Structure 1
Amino acid sequence: MTISTAAPRTDRVSAEARRRRTFAVISHPDAGKSTLTEALVLHAKAITEAGAIHGKAGRRSTVSDWMEMEKARGISITSTALQFPYTTQTGNSCVINLLDTPGHADFSEDTYRVLTAVDCAVMLIDAAKGLEPQTLKLFQVCRHRSIPIITVINKWDRPGRHALELMDEIHDRIQLQTTPLTWPVGIAGDFKGVLDRRSGTFIRFTRTAGGATAAPEEHIDASRAHDAAGADWDNAIEESELLSADGADFDRDSFLRCTSTPVLFTSAALNFGVNQLLEVLAELAPSPSGQLDVDGNLREATAPFSAFVFKVQAGMDSAHRDRIAYARVCSGTFERGDVLTHAATGKPFVTKYAQSVFGQQRSTLDTAWPGDVIGLANAAALRPGDTLYSEVAVQFPPIPSFSPEHFSVARNTDPSKHKQFRKGIEQLDQEGVVQVLRSDRRGDQAPVLAAVGPMQFEVAAHRMATEFGAPISLESLPYTVARICDAADAPTLQKLASVEVFTRTDGVMLAVFSTKWRLENVARENPTVTLRSLVAAGD
């Protein structure tokens, strides 16, 4: 008698998927995103001390900011995957897949790619500044992809706005019902602790030296909270009651439908309120349930293995010239050494060099489950948006390229580095650091780099010099708008002033224009020419 192993395998996949929490942290620059990422890892006991002292004035870097430019500038330039286990206060174990994203608008494409690979997002808001432009753009991406959002009001240890005012702003500007799970005890700048609105207890925090270790917490019963915090506790209770009267109590269904957002108050720099966020993520964030394919059909999490590549990154280790393709497991079980199918080419892909990624650190990965992020080393054939599968074929939707708004000609400044120049430009193109455009007019020796923001050019130039030993000069071009055009229309467009036509590496032809008004004039004067829009960074 043959005993089927399909059911036990499916049960195991389902159980492992339920343990996963895969989410991204999104915010405007300087809201404290990388600091919060570090604090979450610290509270989960995956590291023992936040940051590593470096540079002048004892500035800290984080495990998620590993590039030299990130350390020097104190901003996130590239997204990073961090996986670590976490056991809740009730004893439930889960696996956290945390994707730290660039906050700067110039790196919107990288953040967009990450948001295709998560089941939930933590929207971080500066207590003094409220909702800022980049946060709003990223929220719209989450809304478009139906990604539930947990909101965190950060920097409550500093002077800022009133908590109720921030709730009103979120509701009015992005039409999300705020349902705070914690409420601050003490005004912004005098952060004593939080009221846990579900248990009614006062959680009092104690500072540690430099915020380098997890802040001690004291859970105080409501009957003793007034003695501990005085009028600040009374104000927190009164405001919490107002919230309840306004229908601002947590509702899981509306959260998963993306019509409400639970809210927590933190100071990531002091590690205040971070433990509560970890508990909420473990308890409330959705676990992987599968992925829609290119035809809109759901690939169930328990189906045979499938994954899609959302990022390619090289230069993580100066001692090794390999590159890592980050792939989100969508269904089934991954085992190192599996021979998968690359959907774009139909060719086999061997996974001998699979790795678990923790910032810049890497270790051999033997098994992964839905929601996990796999690092595939030496994956020269893979591009962002590619699908990998086994047994049953599937193709997930491609990741669109954003419409570039900045253009520069890249030239090799050292003729003896010709091979390194070509290899470096190709690598940056494949990773999606910049888009690479070419034309007969300019030739292969002077490719045009196209970007959403000018800081992408700085990253490209830095990496060309440091990783490939091929310094480049960049000459800015006077174009600000790009449209997809047909090959048949290219000769007509090439003859026009303040217009140029390029071919992108993927074969798409782009017509670029000096201004949007020039584009409108060309379209009006040449009604037979077809010009199609690309995805804009704010869409």
Structure 2
Amino acid sequence: MPATKLDRMRNIGIISHIDAGKTTLSERILFYSGEIHKMGEVHDGASAMDWMAQEQERGITITASATSCRWHDLQINLIDTPGHIDFTIEVERSLRALDGAIAIFSAVEGVQPQSESVWRQANHYQVPRICLINKMDRIGADYQRVMQTIAQRLNARPVLLQLPLGIEENFCGVIDILNSQQILFSNEDQGCSLQVSAANASFAAQIASHRELIVEVAADFDEMILGDFLNGQPVSNERLIAALRKGTIAGEIFPVLLGSALRNKGIQPLLDAVDQFLPSPRDCIPALGRHPEDNQSETIPCDPDGPLCALAFKVVADEGRKLTYLRIYSGSLEAGDSLLVSNRMQPEKVARLFRMHAHKRERITSASAGDIVAASGLKSVLTGDTLCRNEHPLILAGLEYPEPVVSLAVEPRGIDDREKLSLALDKLQWEDPTFRVTEDPDTGQTLLTGMGELHLEVIVQRLESDFGVQVNTGKPQVVYRETLQKQIEHRELFEHEIDGHLNQGDVLLRLTPLPRRSGVQIDLPPTLLESLTPEISVALKPEIEQTCHAGVVAGYPLTDLKVEILEIPFDPVKTTPRGILAALHLAIIQAGRKAGPTLLEPIMQLELTTPSEHTGRVMGSLQQKGGQVAGILTNADQDLIHATIPLTQMFGYMTELRSATKGSGSFTMEFSHFDQAPVETLKRFGL
């Protein structure tokens, strides 16, 4: 790939709160770039990016969809992400693979709860962003208030590049502050025609004031601009754009544009801003890999001629076959190439390569550094795996997955369903790392665990629509955690004949409760490990982790616990690896049952929007449910309530909220932490 092609490439995503206009904007980008010739609307279930039946039925994005288009000579690889918290993994893995993003904010609601969540995710992956204040045509639109909330709630530095022409239903265009031009978007040809002219003289003072603010920001990234600014010298637009681009790529400023995607206004200037301010793959900080043999780090420049290094950031079951989305950080890849999954040192072979357009495939023969493509034929690859060549293995940092907190029992309806269920669930699990399948040890039921009610509802629907499997379901249940209330030491001696051989093991351990959010800490003294065989030493930690994950009383994973191995007496004649691991397993269970086991329930971070007139009723309802209100923000005639609340109290809450607010309230929630479950719950589990 020539250097010029890399410089003229942008890998971007669209992120925001649910219903802020992500998919509508994606549809306009594809239309104005010539990729599609007819715009479909989300509310009609006809958009190109929301292709799943569940998305079209619900009018929301469920899975991140990738596509590609060209804006003039710029190649744009675009990913449209979901806004609902239940599908946050789609945002997480998309941002892991992207170089830049467009963050959308509603001109009426401003920074909404999920806006903050995706903004934090983008901060975590150091993704540069430009912002679009959308829905400028709506009643109550106020871009200045949105600018303030971006600065206050996101602790960000927005830089306004446009002023609106008209407000609310009279919004018809924008004023380009840098060029002192007004841009009108024609209603006759769906906004394709732009009328560009010098800004009206009545805006001169406003434009001059805002341009001065832009120069002040640019001066922070270019000392020569600072000197000219202090000396009253004019600064060209080219120099300002270069300085703003530098600040944007560094993640210190965020250019802001205005528009109305649904009314086809503001999209073309936004695409120009993608070109001007967001980075090419070459502009980004080089990826960092480590060698699997010695764990040494290596910087991976974005070079088509370098060693191949690609991240599998998404895996899907497409028409029954595995399709793997790859971000190529270095090197080149061709269909038919033999590769190595360096995480597990497993060989793989690429059958075919595709450039994706939502669910449609465009077959290609090769791809190289900076590109985002899909590959078929990679049988063992999972989300977060690294692909490279045998002669130069490297491992990239993977992804962090949020904890699923809601479970659902399912059972197949018929014999045919029983045979197909296991295979279908396996495919859904390697598609979605936040979806887990377990078996209840007491009832033998199959338990599906996910991020929320909607997440599991979509899974069940997909079982029928995508895999032809019909199941009966129980009610959603909370996923608890187990912990201990007191410290205990315990010795366990295991002696048992297995397959004609006597297996013996002796383990002395100590279990110590830890503060909340500590997880499981394992202490294996080096001197103890040295006294054992390598086979036993390597197996101890996985056995502890597996036993803790299974729990000691109710089958839920143990947490907030320190496991210390104090002694493992070793007799070369009698002691066996199987005996020691069995003794270790039993020691944790027996000690745990004597150390005051208890349950922790998931506590959710709740952000609720309600008209001010209903705030009192909503607050009363939250307090009755055991919620703790952390604060209230008032915007115009709406209140935003921040609270924490047990997940057990939130099933079916949307119906209750709509009743209390006459249909105008909404909420989002995400997992916060685990805390002590109430007495009623403990009694239900016999504790």
TM-score by structure 2 length? 0.65
> Where does residue 438 of structure 1 map in the other structure?
438
C-alpha distance in structure 1 between counterparts of 2:133 and 2:476, whole Å: 41
Contact 2:352 2:365 (C-alpha < 8 Å) held by counterparts: no
Q: CA deviation digits over 1:42-99, x for unaligned, max 9? A: 111111121179xxxx825211100001111111000011012221xxxxx1211001
The correspondence of residues 70-469 of structure 1 with structure 2, limited to 5 A, is: 70-87=55-72, 93-208=73-188, 213-222=190-199, 225-226=200-201, 233=203, 237=207, 240=210, 243-244=213-214, 247=217, 251-289=244-282, 290-294=286-290, 297-302=298-303, 303-315=306-318, 320-390=319-389, 391-432=391-432, 434-439=434-439, 441-442=441-442, 446-469=445-468
Specify the code of the residue in structure 2 equivalent to 1:410: V
Contact 1:343 1:387 (C-alpha < 8 Å) held by counterparts: yes
Task: Give the superposition deviation at 1:496.
Answer: 4.0
The correspondence of residues 49-88 of structure 1 with structure 2, limited to 5 A, is: 49-51=38-40, 59-87=44-72
Contact 2:351 2:377 (C-alpha < 8 Å) held by counterparts: no
C-alpha distance in structure 1 between counterparts of 2:206 and 2:184, whole Å: 13
Contact 2:383 2:433 (C-alpha < 8 Å) held by counterparts: no
> Where does residue 18 of structure 1 map in the other structure?
7
Specify the code of the residue in structure 2 equivalent to 1:122: I
C-alpha distance in structure 2 between counterparts of 1:71 and 1:383, whole Å: 27
Q: Which has the higher contact order (CA 8 A, sep 6+)?
A: 1
Q: CA deviation digits over 1:488-514, x for unaligned, max 9? A: 4847984546x6249xxxxxx9x9844
Task: Give the superposition deviation at 1:292.
Answer: 2.2
SS of residue matched to 1:116: helix
SS of residue matched to 1:450: strand
Task: Give the superposition deviation at 1:348.
Answer: 2.6
Contact 2:110 2:145 (C-alpha < 8 Å) held by counterparts: no
Task: Give the superposition deviation at 1:182.
Answer: 2.0
Q: CA deviation digits over 1:220-257, x for unaligned, max 9? A: 023xx34xxxx6x4685376357458748862222122
C-alpha distance in structure 1 between counterparts of 2:160 and 2:549, whole Å: 58
SS of residue matched to 2:120: helix
* Structure 1 pair 456–521 and aligned structure 2 pair: CA distance change class (3 A): closer
Identity of aligned residues (%): 25
Contact 1:183 1:194 (C-alpha < 8 Å) held by counterparts: yes
SS of residue matched to 1:61: coil
Task: Give the superposition deviation at 1:39.
Answer: 0.5
SS of residue matched to 1:195: strand
Q: CA deviation digits over 1:447-478, x for unaligned, max 9? A: 32221222111111011111211112232454
TM-score by structure 1 length? 0.82
Specify the code of the residue in structure 2 equivalent to 1:311: K
Specify the code of the residue in structure 2 equivalent to 1:473: N
Task: Give the superposition deviation at 1:418.
Answer: 2.1
Q: Which of these residues, 12, 22, 27, is aligned with residue 33 of structure 1?
A: 22
The answer as to 2:33 corresponding to 1:44 is yes
Specify the code of the residue in structure 2 equivalent to 1:83: S
Task: Give the superposition deviation at 1:20.
Answer: 1.4
Specify the code of the residue in structure 2 equivalent to 1:281: V
Q: CA deviation digits over 1:353-407, x for unaligned, max 9? A: 2111111110211121223221112433111101111242111112222111211
SS of residue matched to 1:160: coil
Contact 2:549 2:556 (C-alpha < 8 Å) held by counterparts: no
> Where does residue 527 of structure 1 map in the other structure?
none
Contact 2:481 2:557 (C-alpha < 8 Å) held by counterparts: no
Specify the code of the residue in structure 1 equivalent to 2:288: L
* Structure 1 pair 416–24 and aligned structure 2 pair: CA distance change class (3 A): same
Contact 1:208 1:270 (C-alpha < 8 Å) held by counterparts: no
C-alpha distance in structure 1 between counterparts of 2:135 and 2:675, whole Å: 45
C-alpha distance in structure 2 between counterparts of 1:323 and 1:186, whole Å: 50
Contact 2:406 2:449 (C-alpha < 8 Å) held by counterparts: yes
Contact 1:433 1:456 (C-alpha < 8 Å) held by counterparts: no
Task: Give the superposition deviation at 1:432.
Answer: 0.9
Structure 2: runs of 5 or more not aligned: 219-239, 291-295, 483-518, 523-542, 559-587, 589-597, 604-645, 647-672, 678-687
* Structure 1 pair 433–145 and aligned structure 2 pair: CA distance change class (3 A): closer
* Structure 1 pair 388–180 and aligned structure 2 pair: CA distance change class (3 A): same
Cα RMSD between the aligned structures? 2.9
Specify the code of the residue in structure 2 equivalent to 1:194: V
SS of residue matched to 2:168: coil
* Structure 1 pair 101–481 and aligned structure 2 pair: CA distance change class (3 A): farther
C-alpha distance in structure 2 between counterparts of 1:495 and 1:396, whole Å: 35
Q: CA deviation digits over 1:139-183, x for unaligned, max 9? A: 011111111110000111212342222212111121221112222
Specify the code of the residue in structure 2 equivalent to 1:500: Y
Contact 1:178 1:261 (C-alpha < 8 Å) held by counterparts: yes
Task: Give the superposition deviation at 1:335.
Answer: 1.9
* Structure 1 pair 362–446 and aligned structure 2 pair: CA distance change class (3 A): same
Specify the code of the residue in structure 1 equivalent to 2:289: D
C-alpha distance in structure 1 between counterparts of 2:212 and 2:432, whole Å: 48
C-alpha distance in structure 1 between counterparts of 2:320 and 2:101, whole Å: 32
Task: Give the superposition deviation at 1:15.
Answer: 3.4
C-alpha distance in structure 2 between counterparts of 1:246 and 1:188, whole Å: 30
Contact 2:411 2:446 (C-alpha < 8 Å) held by counterparts: yes
C-alpha distance in structure 2 between counterparts of 1:345 and 1:493, whole Å: 25
Contact 1:480 1:513 (C-alpha < 8 Å) held by counterparts: no
Specify the code of the residue in structure 2 equivalent to 1:204: L
* Structure 1 pair 214–349 and aligned structure 2 pair: CA distance change class (3 A): farther
* Structure 1 pair 71–415 and aligned structure 2 pair: CA distance change class (3 A): same
C-alpha distance in structure 2 between counterparts of 1:519 and 1:368, whole Å: 45
* Structure 1 pair 416–265 and aligned structure 2 pair: CA distance change class (3 A): same
Contact 2:82 2:90 (C-alpha < 8 Å) held by counterparts: yes
Contact 1:16 1:370 (C-alpha < 8 Å) held by counterparts: no
Specify the code of the residue in structure 1 equivalent to 2:260: S
Contact 1:434 1:449 (C-alpha < 8 Å) held by counterparts: no
Specify the code of the residue in structure 2 equivalent to 1:46: E
Contact 2:97 2:327 (C-alpha < 8 Å) held by counterparts: yes
Specify the code of the residue in structure 2 equivalent to 1:369: S
SS of residue matched to 1:62: coil
Specify the code of the residue in structure 2 equivalent to 1:62: S
C-alpha distance in structure 2 between counterparts of 1:501 and 1:146, whole Å: 32
C-alpha distance in structure 1 between counterparts of 2:58 and 2:168, whole Å: 27
* Structure 1 pair 361–492 and aligned structure 2 pair: CA distance change class (3 A): closer
* Structure 1 pair 416–327 and aligned structure 2 pair: CA distance change class (3 A): same
* Structure 1 pair 329–13 and aligned structure 2 pair: CA distance change class (3 A): farther
Structure 1: runs of 5 or more not aligned: 1-11, 88-92, 503-508, 523-539
> Where does residue 533 of structure 1 map in the other structure?
none
* Structure 1 pair 512–351 and aligned structure 2 pair: CA distance change class (3 A): farther
SS of residue matched to 1:24: strand
